[in-house]
């Protein structure tokens, strides 16, 4: 294997190699002065890949990776982590599966070997499966009893209709959890955790040639199955109707109001502008518009902000605020007004520069630890971004003009059609009307 740019030690400059079994490896130098490493195993086996009738398989498998391997039981697995001062986590989102280890450089070989063991052969004992499924059922109950969680789930189910890869709840359903077994989870593991298009990302201070030799011994021997390939996404989503959906939860006091719509994929040219628009609207704590205007200036909300989630097949933009039942209508109008203003008016240069410099000014902090730098390297691998993306990203954001931002906001935040508005909170007072135009649904 050919060594690339052996003198480069800037963690913002990545390299990409291929092991003998075809596994793609992304290598990132640790930030100068750090004494830890991080490594991640990434696949496209997220909840969108759950078999029909077995929704929740990916998130259940992620939880089970901490319950031991075929060579180490749960206690031995935990002891090995403790003895090497290391951490292990695994999670599944709509599209992907992510298992990550971290720890001191002097335990690098043992830590990487533990990750290889976990993804190759999770233990999947019946008692642990029952424990995880019980936790998922409890999480489903919480989802029905907490306004923010219920509103978020309702929004996703309506923005992405039945049949869309993002429609499914990663937790599954009461019925689908009952269909998960040792055999079905083992089958899911074989197909979706060890595909040939999996990726390994390693942030380490070890010289590249020596690191590749170590990775070949630990991961190059894994037997990989067929690649998963891309998911199928509909060309167009149905337009949202002009109505609210209100989900009452008895015994609650706060109303969560969410305004959301689907957005383009992470690879879309409009992503940088959408990313910066979200920071202006509600992504920057304290200084963003929603916090300043909805919460601070008028005092109508306990909290207010926005978020942008972007994946390979699309994304979701959400503006949200927590308020009380009396102010739900007013808060909804304010969320609409602030979103529309991004499309109708150019952001003042002084405001844009303040938000942008606040955002970029925090970037150097991301390169001070192996764990934080590793998260950006994993993003490069997951979305097939250019290897120099961490270097060029600040200049991309600085190059966006107020006119470009307004045009992207008009195209993606104002059109096509109105956004979905979902709220959840206490039932309307007896004798009083539900919040404006509400389709009054009880939790399922």
- What is the pTM (predicted TM-score) of this model? 0.90
Domain contains 351: yes
What integer pLDDT is reported at residue 419 of this predicted model? 85
Closest C-alpha among 90, 74, 84 to residue 113: 84
Q: What percent of the chain has pLDDT over 90?
A: 75
Domain contains 317: yes
Domain contains 6: no
Split at pLDDT 50, 70, 90, the class of 435 is: low
Quick one: average pLDDT of 402-408?
97
Write the CB contacts of 241 (distance below 8 Å, at least 6 apart in sequence): 418
What integer pLDDT is reported at residue 117 of this predicted model? 96
Residue 296 scores a pLDDT above 80:
no
Report the domain count for the chain: 2
Q: Among 21-35, 161-175, 240-254, 306-320, which is the least confidently predicted range?
A: 240-254
Q: How many CB atoms lie within 10 A of CB 205?
A: 18
Looking at 201, 218, 235, the residue that finishes a domain is: 218
What integer pLDDT is reported at residue 434 of this predicted model? 54
Quick one: average pLDDT of 159-182?
93
pLDDT tens for 232-252 read 888 788 776 667 799 999 999
Domain contains 228: no
Together in a domain, 123 and 207: yes
Q: Among 19-23, 46-50, 223-227, 418-422, which is the least confidently predicted range?
A: 418-422
What integer pLDDT is reported at residue 302 of this predicted model? 80
Residue 444 scores a pLDDT above 60:
no
- Taking the CA of residue 247 as centre, how many other CA atoms within 13 Å lie in the half-sphere pointing to its CB? 22
- Which pair of structure tokens corresponds to residue 117? 């063991």
Q: What percent of the chain has pLDDT over 70?
A: 93
435 against 128, higher pLDDT = 128
Domain contains 19: yes
Domain contains 202: yes
The three-state (H, E, C) secondary structure of the chain, written as one string: CCCCCCCCCCCCCCEEEECCCCCEEEEEECCCCCCEEEEEEEECCCHHHCCCCCCCHHHHHHHHHHHCECCCCHHHHHHHHHHCCCEEEEEECCCCEEEEEEEEHHHHHHHHHHHHHHHHCECCCHHHHHHHHHHHHHHHHHHHHCHHHHHHHHHHHHHCCCCCCCCCCCCCCHHHHHCCCHHHHHHHHHHHCCECCCEEEEEECCCHHHHHHHHHHHCCCCCCECCCCCCCCCCCCCCCCCCEEEEECCCCCCEEEEEEEEECCCCCCCHHHHHHHHHHHHHCCCCCHHHHHHHHHCCCCCEEEEEEEECCCCEEEEEEEEECHHHHHHHHHHHHHHHHHHHHCCCCHHHHHHHHHHHHHCHHHHHCCHHHHHHHHHHHHHCCCCCCHHHHHHHHHHCCCHHHHHHHHHHHHHCCCCCEEEEEECCCCCCCCCCCCEEECCCC
CA angle 96–97–103, rounded 5-degree value: 130
- Taking the CA of residue 198 as centre, how many other CA atoms within 13 Å lie in the half-sphere pointing to its CB? 31
Q: What is the CATH number of the domain that holds 322?
A: 3.30.830.10
Domain contains 8: no
What integer pLDDT is reported at residue 441 of this predicted model? 47
Together in a domain, 372 and 257: yes
Closest C-alpha among 162, 56, 93, 92 to residue 315: 93
Together in a domain, 80 and 193: yes
Q: Among 216-230, 359-373, 400-414, which is the least confidently predicted range?
A: 359-373
- Which pair of structure tokens corresponds to residue 393? 């990203």
Together in a domain, 252 and 314: yes
What integer pLDDT is reported at residue 228 of this predicted model? 92
Together in a domain, 80 and 205: yes
Phi first, then psi, for residue 398 (nearest 5°) are: -65, -25
Together in a domain, 196 and 339: no
Looking at 218, 234, 260, the residue that finishes a domain is: 218
Residue 8 scores a pLDDT above 70:
no
Together in a domain, 199 and 256: no
Together in a domain, 151 and 284: no
pLDDT tens for 61-90 read 999 999 999 999 999 999 999 999 999 999
Report the alpha-carbon distance of residue 368 to residue 32 in Å, rounded.
8
Together in a domain, 162 and 283: no
- Which pair of structure tokens corresponds to residue 423? 């709220």
Looking at 179, 201, 218, the residue that finishes a domain is: 218
pLDDT tens for 12-45 read 999 999 999 999 999 999 999 899 999 999 999 8
Domain contains 161: yes
Which residues form the domain of 191? 15-218
Together in a domain, 48 and 128: yes
Closest C-alpha among 199, 200, 202, 201 to residue 228: 199
Together in a domain, 281 and 201: no
Q: Among 22-26, 99-103, 414-418, which is the least confidently predicted range?
A: 414-418
Residue 392 scores a pLDDT above 70:
yes
Closest C-alpha among 380, 374, 388 to residue 99: 374
Quick one: average pLDDT of 407-413?
94
Quick one: average pLDDT of 172-196?
95
Q: How many CB atoms lie within 10 A of CB 316?
A: 20
Together in a domain, 299 and 167: no
238 against 259, higher pLDDT = 259
pLDDT tens for 338-351 read 999 999 999 999 99
Residue 442 scores a pLDDT above 90:
no
């Amino acid at each position: 294997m050919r060594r690339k740019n052996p003198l480069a030690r800037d963690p913002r400059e990545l390299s990409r190699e291929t092991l003998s079994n075809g596994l793609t490896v992304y290598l990132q130098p640790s930030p100068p002065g750090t004494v830890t490493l991080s490594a991640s195993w990434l696949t496209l086996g997220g909840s969108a890949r759950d078999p029909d009738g077995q929704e929740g398989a990916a998130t259940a498998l992620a939880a089970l990776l901490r319950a031991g391997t075929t060579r180490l039981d749960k206690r031995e697995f935990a002891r090995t982590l403790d003895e090497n001062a290391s951490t292990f986590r695994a999670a599944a989102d709509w599209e992907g599966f992510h298992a990550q280890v971290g720890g001191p450089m002097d335990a690098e070989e043992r830590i990487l070997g533990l990750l290889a063991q976990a993804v190759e052969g999770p233990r999947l004992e019946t008692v642990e499966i029952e424990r995880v499924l019980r936790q998922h059922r409890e999480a489903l109950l919480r989802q029905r009893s907490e306004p923010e969680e219920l509103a978020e789930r309702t929004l996703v189910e309506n923005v992405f209709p039945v049949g869309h890869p993002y429609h499914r709840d990663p937790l599954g359903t009461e019925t689908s959890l009952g269909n998960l077994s040792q055999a079905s989870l083992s089958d899911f593991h074989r197909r979706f955790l060890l595909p040939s298009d999996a990726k390994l990302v390693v942030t380490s201070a070890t010289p590249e040639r020596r690191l590749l030799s170590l990775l070949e011994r630990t991961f190059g021997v894994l037997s990989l199955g067929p690649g998963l390939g891309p998911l199928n996404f509909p060309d167009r989503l149905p337009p949202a109707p002009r109505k609210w959906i209100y989900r009452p939860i008895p015994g609650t006091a706060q109303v969560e109001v969410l305004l959301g719509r689907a957005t383009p994929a992470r690879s879309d040219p409009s992503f940088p502008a959408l990313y910066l628009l979200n920071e202006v609207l509600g992504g920057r704590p304290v200084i963003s518009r929603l916090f300043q205007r909805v919460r601070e200036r008028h005092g109508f909300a306990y909290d207010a902000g926005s978020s942008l989630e972007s994946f390979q097949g699309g994304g979701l933009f959400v503006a949200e605020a927590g308020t009380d039942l009396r102010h739900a209508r007013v808060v909804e109008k304010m969320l609409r007004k602030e979103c529309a203003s991004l499309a109708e008016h150019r952001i003042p240069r002084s405001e844009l520069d303040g938000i942008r410099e606040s955002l970029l000014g925090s970037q150097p902090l991301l390169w001070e630890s192996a764990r934080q730098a590793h998260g950006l390297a994993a993003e490069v691998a997951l979305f097939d971004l250019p290897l120099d993306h961490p270097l060029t990203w600040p200049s991309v954001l600085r190059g966006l003009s107020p006119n470009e931002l307004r045009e992207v906001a008009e195209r993606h935040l104002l059109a096509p059609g109105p956004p979905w508005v979902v709220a959840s909170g206490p039932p309307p007072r007896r004798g009083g009307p539900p919040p404006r135009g509400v389709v009054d649904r009880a939790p399922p």
